[in-house]
Structure formats: C-alpha cells, structure tokens
Amino acid sequence: MAKKLVIKVTAGADSPERCSQAFTVAAVAVASGVEVSLWLTGESAWFALPGRAAGFELPHAAPLPDLIESIQSAGRITLCTQCAARREIAEEDVLEGVRIAGAQVFVSEAMADDAQALVY
C-alpha cells in the first residue's frame, strides 16, 4: 500500500459530487494515517479562500469546511500556481497553511516511489 496519497481535485461547485469525493477520500486517508497532499486545481481553487467552502452544499456529504480542517490537521493542501493566477488569488489571500505551487512540485510528489496519485 502506498504511504503517500497525492490527490488532484479539478472540480468545484460545478461538479459537487466529484469535488466532495476528492475531499472525503483525502480526509479519510489522513484519518487512516496516510500522508496526504491535496491539490486544488480548476474550479476547486476557490476553496483555498477563507469562507468559500462554507457555501458548498451537497446532500448527505460531510461539510466541506470540516473536511478541509481534517485534511489540514495532518496533510497538506496546495493551490495550483496557474489556477491561482487565473483567478487573481495571491498567497496572502488563501487559508492559513495552504501553499501555492506548480506542476513541477505536483509531478515530484506524484512520482515518488511510495506515492499513489488520484485525480478527481
């Protein structure tokens, strides 16, 4: 079993089930002791901003702010550099603990020997 899980979520409010699945899998993996790196790309980039996750609703799904808090407790959340730039999101705008990094860092994490990568 992989010891590191790298998850790229490309969906946001435009595809709520796919979005929620990514955050849920990341939170469950963190709770299971797996090292998690969650990447926010595309429309999920908005959830790097304070308060944005509170507006996300999906029946029978855990609240997105709770999932983010769980992931941040022992995992890492990264906002894609290009996605941030396209939305004019700067480092000072994002939730505490969220980093902004690019494709080189994603590829490095995903290609590590003990990593498994998932894309939602």
Sequence-distant (6+) residues with CB within 8 A of 3 are 34, 35, 114, 115
Angle (CA) 48-24-15 rounded to 5° is 65
Check if the beta carbon of residue 18 is closer than 8 Å to that of residue 8: no
State pTM to two decimals: 0.95
Number of H helices, E strands in the chain: 4, 5
Check if the beta carbon of residue 7 is closer than 8 Å to that of residue 22: yes
pLDDT (tens digit per residue) in 79-94? 999 999 999 999 999 9
Check if the beta carbon of residue 72 is closer than 8 Å to that of residue 64: no
CA gap 40, 19 in Å, rounded: 10
pLDDT (tens digit per residue) in 5-60? 999 999 999 999 999 999 999 999 999 999 999 999 999 999 999 999 999 999 99
CA gap 107, 103 in Å, rounded: 6
- Helix residue ranges, H only, 1-120: 16-31, 64-74, 81-86, 103-110
Give the number of other Cβ atoms within 10 Å of residue 43's Cβ.
17
